[in-house]
């Protein structure tokens, strides 16, 4: 079974993330949307909420699993028999950041390939951290989120 891990903070999951998942679905038998948990940094939204929203969104999609993990993404991939890390690229800044991580991950484990999908132009500006700012300041971010929060 060809499994990809789509790792991220997803704080919150956006229509940009949703589009990457949709476009990656035909490429893999299974996609695990895996929320990386940092021991010293809690998210803006609780881990439970982030998981629940994504699970509800994909409850009819049997190829998608939602999970959380601590530690290195490559270790999580190995544990789940996944040879692919899925990431989205919005900008050249994303590229530079992602390139270094992907190259270092590959040095550490050449059995795992990072697969990048370039975001749709209409999703390039959509960014979880700006969405958090909108919400923090009482704005309406519903245009950018694929479920009601």
- Which residue's C-beta sits nearest to ligand ADP? 16
Spell out a b/e string for 47-56, using b for 16 or more CB atoms within 10 Å of the CB, else e.
Answer: eeebbebbee
Q: Write the binding mask 8 to 27 for ligand ADP: x where contact by CB under 6 A, - elsewhere.
A: xxx---x-xx--x-------
Catalytic: 92? no
Residue 114 sits in the site that holds ligand ADP (CB under 6 A):
no
Alpha-carbon distance of 28 to 10, in angstroms, equals 21
Least distance in Å: CB of 77 to ligand ADP? Answer: 14
CA dihedral 143, 127, 35, 80 (to 10 degrees): 100
Q: Which of 82, 90, 119, 123 is catalytic?
A: 90
Q: Given the rule CB under 6 A, which residues bind ligand ADP? A: 8-10, 14, 16-17, 20, 87-88, 90, 94, 119, 123, 126, 128
Which residues are the active-site residues?
17, 41, 90, 128
């Amino acid at each position: 079974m060809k499994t990809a891990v789509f790792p991220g903070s997803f704080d919150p999951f956006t229509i940009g993330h949703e589009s990457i998942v949709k476009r990656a679905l035909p490429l893999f038998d299974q996609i695990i949307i895996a929320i990386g948990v940092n021991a010293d940094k809690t998210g803006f939204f609780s881990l439970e909420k982030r998981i629940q929203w994504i699970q509800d969104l994909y409850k009819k999609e049997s190829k998608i699993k939602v999970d959380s993990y601590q530690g290195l993404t490559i270790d999580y991939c190995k544990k789940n028999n996944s040879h692919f890390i899925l990431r989205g690229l919005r900008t050249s800044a994303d590229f530079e950041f992602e390139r270094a991580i992907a190259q270092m991950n590959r040095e550490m484990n050449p059995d795992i390939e990072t697969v990048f999908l370039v975001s749709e132009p209409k999703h390039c500006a959509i960014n979880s951290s700006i969405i958090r700012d909108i919400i923090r300041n009482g704005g309406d971010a519903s245009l950018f989120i694929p479920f009601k929060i």
